[in-house]
């Protein structure tokens, strides 16, 4: 008999053979990258460990991560010799005997967790494995505990998967409700399917499981909106970056290149800060980007905002005059609204506008220009590349499980300005232009402050950019969904 459930949480044992991805599945379902240990070594989990999925502040589902079944063949043979009228009686006889504390200790932990602490079980299966007799015996042992079993087919994207053979064996064992869930790269809607199908096995808990699905969908939408705000805050930071270069230093090639590279480093640092913020938001550690198949990063340790080819393509998408100095990756002139004011007529017109509104930041810059001072700022094309790369990172994180240990397959090339999201990305870049009048916006110390903002105007600018980024992300989703 199972132990009393005092908090009402649905209790799910996660069971299966050694090293099939049980802990990986739980990391992905709970978005807890620090839970347990994921490794290619067999027998990594040695004890039963609980982890909760919380909904509205309470534990809605309690998962029990169990050790791997190691010798089901011998254990099933032993259990079949024990007294008892039913399979369940014989399992209980085994758990009360000395072998449960000796040669079959690991298996006893699994069966006890299933029989005494769980309402149902996810049976995790590595579909790359051939169908050996020990796996059939494992299913028979687990079925003998009398709890509903939901087989979870793992690693089904692997070219060596034997999914159809496993499905046939499970059907022969009376297990027809099967879920495909790749713990390294979950399918879109896989969690929804997992909990919905579990509701068919546990009809009394169906409403609770529907509430879990609604919570997860709402949480995903909120996380995506926050991701767009993280990216928007970094774009605003970069758009606000400024550096003045005296005329003599500008005429010296070495000092000019040094000033340009300094500004580039500041922009890269802010882009990397955005990457780290996105990884944290999706429950990953900073180093996980190097291990995960994240096309947006292309295996680099930091984003490449100033790749000349990407800048050129982004400049074409943004339109003539918006991307100035693409070869340098910066606007090597006074920037007002993203456009360079190199001609005397343009300078005079801007000067008149600044005078009519009070000097402010633009007035100071215009006076500096009249003295021969040049101003460097990050060009729109670089902001476009940054937004594009980080949105693709969001897409990758949404399809990345928390248990993969294999290195990623690197993509052929980066993207910029060649997809349906380009129009929305261009709008997002244009929405950063208020930041070019507020160099103080680049000095906000923390990501939390950059997102909340001490300035109402800054917060409004972040919101405007984020809205365009969400629209771009929906366009990327639509493009990905097309066959």
- For the stretch 88-145, pLDDT in tens is 999 999 999 999 998 899 899 999 999 999 999 999 999 999 999 999 999 999 999 9
Q: Are 136 and 165 in contact (CB under 8 A)?
A: no
Convert the pLDDT of each residue in 420-472 to its tens digit. 688 899 999 999 988 888 888 887 555 555 555 455 888 999 999 999 999 99
How far is residue 210's CA from residue 472's CA, in Å, rounded to a whole number?
30
**DSSP, residue by residue, 194-206:** HHHHHHHH-GGGH
Extract the tokens encoding 10.
Answer: 């649905």
Convert the pLDDT of each residue in 179-211 to its tens digit. 888 766 666 677 888 899 899 999 999 999 999
- State the alpha helices, DSSP H only, in 344-446: 344-356, 360-370, 380-398, 422-430
Q: How many CB atoms lie within 10 A of CB 371?
A: 9
Q: Are residues 367 and 453 in the same domain?
A: yes
**DSSP, residue by residue, 224-260:** HHHHHHHHHHHHHHHHH--EEE-HHHHHSHHHHHHHH
pLDDT in single tens digits along all 483 residues of the chain: 445 555 789 999 999 988 888 887 888 788 776 654 444 444 444 688 888 888 888 899 999 999 888 889 999 999 999 998 999 999 999 999 999 998 899 899 999 999 999 999 999 999 999 999 999 999 999 999 999 999 999 888 888 999 999 999 999 999 988 888 876 666 667 788 889 989 999 999 999 999 998 998 898 899 999 999 999 999 999 888 888 777 777 778 888 888 888 888 888 888 888 888 888 888 776 655 443 333 333 333 344 555 555 555 655 555 533 332 332 233 333 333 333 333 333 333 333 333 333 444 545 555 555 556 777 788 888 888 889 888 988 888 887 665 544 433 333 334 444 566 888 999 999 999 888 888 888 875 555 555 554 558 889 999 999 999 999 999 888 877 665
Q: Tell me the pLDDT of the chain averaged across its residues.
A: 75
Extract the tokens encoding 449.
Answer: 């402050």
**Residue 271 vs residues 229, 304, 383: alpha-carbon distances, Å:** 13, 9, 9
Q: Which residues of 381-402 are buried (b: 16+ CB within 10 A; e: fewer)?
A: bbbbbbbbbbbbbbbbbbbbbb
Q: Are residues 107 and 237 in the same domain?
A: no
How far is residue 259's CA from residue 221's CA, in Å, rounded to a whole number?
41
145 is a domain residue: yes
Q: Are residues 293 and 246 in the same domain?
A: yes
215 is a domain residue: no
Question: Residue 169 is part of a domain; what is its CATH number?
Answer: 3.40.50.300
Q: Are residues 385 and 238 in the same domain?
A: yes
Q: How many helices (H) and strands (E) does the chain have?
A: 17, 11
218 is a domain residue: no
Counted domains in the chain:
2
Q: Are residues 190 and 288 in the same domain?
A: no
216 is a domain residue: no
Cβ-in-10-Å burial (0-12, 13-18, 19+) of 17 comes to: buried
Q: Are residues 173 and 289 in the same domain?
A: no
How far is residue 448's CA from residue 91's CA, in Å, rounded to a whole number?
54
208 is a domain residue: no
Q: Domain range spanning residue 316? A: 226-481
Q: How many CA atoms lie within 13 A of 260 on its CB side?
A: 19
- Measure CA 25 to chain center: 15
């Amino acid at each position: 008999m199972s132990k009393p459930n005092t908090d009402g949480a649905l209790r799910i044992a996660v069971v299966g053979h050694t090293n099939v991805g049980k802990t990986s599945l739980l990391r992905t379902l709970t978005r807890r990258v620090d839970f347990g240990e994921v490794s290619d070594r067999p027998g990594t989990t040695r004890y039963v460990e609980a982890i909760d999925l919380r909904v509205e502040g309470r534990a809605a589902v309690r998962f029990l991560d169990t050790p791997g079944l190691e010798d089901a063949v011998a254990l099933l043979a032993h259990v079949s010799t024990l007294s008892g009228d039913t399979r369940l009686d014989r399992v209980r006889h085994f758990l009360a005997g000395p072998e449960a504390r000796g040669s079959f200790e690991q298996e006893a932990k699994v069966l006890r967790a299933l029989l005494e602490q769980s309402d149902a079980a996810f049976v995790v299966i590595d579909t790359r494995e051939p169908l050996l007799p020990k796996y059939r015996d494992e299913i028979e042992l687990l079925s003998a505990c009398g709890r509903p079993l939901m087989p979870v087919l793992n690693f089904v994207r692997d070219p060596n998967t034997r999914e159809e053979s496993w499905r046939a064996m499970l059907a022969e064992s009376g297990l027809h409700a099967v879920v495909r869930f790749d713990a390294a790269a979950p399918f879109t809607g896989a969690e929804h399917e997992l909990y919905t199908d579990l509701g068919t096995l546990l009809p009394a808990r169906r409403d609770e499981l529907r509430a879990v699905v609604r919570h997860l969908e709402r949480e995903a939408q909120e996380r995506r909106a926050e991701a767009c705000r993280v990216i928007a805050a970094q774009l605003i930071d970069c758009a606000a970056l400024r550096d003045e270069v005296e005329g003599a230093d500008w005429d010296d090639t070495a000092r000019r290149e040094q000033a340009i590279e300094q500004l580039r480093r500041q922009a890269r640092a802010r882009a990397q800060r955005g990457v780290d913020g996105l990884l944290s938001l999706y429950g990953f550690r900073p180093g996980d980007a190097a291990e995960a198949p994240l096309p947006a990063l292309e295996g680099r340790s930091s984003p490449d905002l100033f790749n000349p080819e990407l800048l050129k393509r982004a400049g074409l998408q943004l339109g003539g005059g918006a991307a100035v100095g693409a070869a340098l990756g910066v606007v090597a002139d006074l920037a007002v609204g993203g456009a360079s004011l190199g001609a005397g007529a343009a300078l005079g017109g801007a000067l008149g506008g600044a005078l009519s509104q009070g000097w402010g930041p633009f007035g100071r810059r215009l006076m500096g220009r009249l003295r021969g001072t040049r101003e460097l700022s990050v060009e729109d094309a670089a902001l476009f590349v940054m937004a594009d790369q980080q949105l693709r990172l969001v897409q990758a994180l949404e399809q990345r499980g928390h248990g993969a240990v294999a290195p990623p397959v690197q993509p052929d090339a980066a993207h910029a300005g060649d997809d349906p999201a380009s129009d929305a990305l261009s709008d997002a870049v244009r929405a950063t232009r208020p930041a070019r009048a507020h160099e103080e916006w680049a000095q906000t110390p923390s990501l939390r402050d950059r997102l909340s903002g001490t300035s109402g105007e800054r917060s409004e600018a972040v919101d405007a950019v984020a809205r365009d980024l969400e629209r771009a992300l929906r366009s990327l989703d639509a493009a990905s969904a097309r066959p």
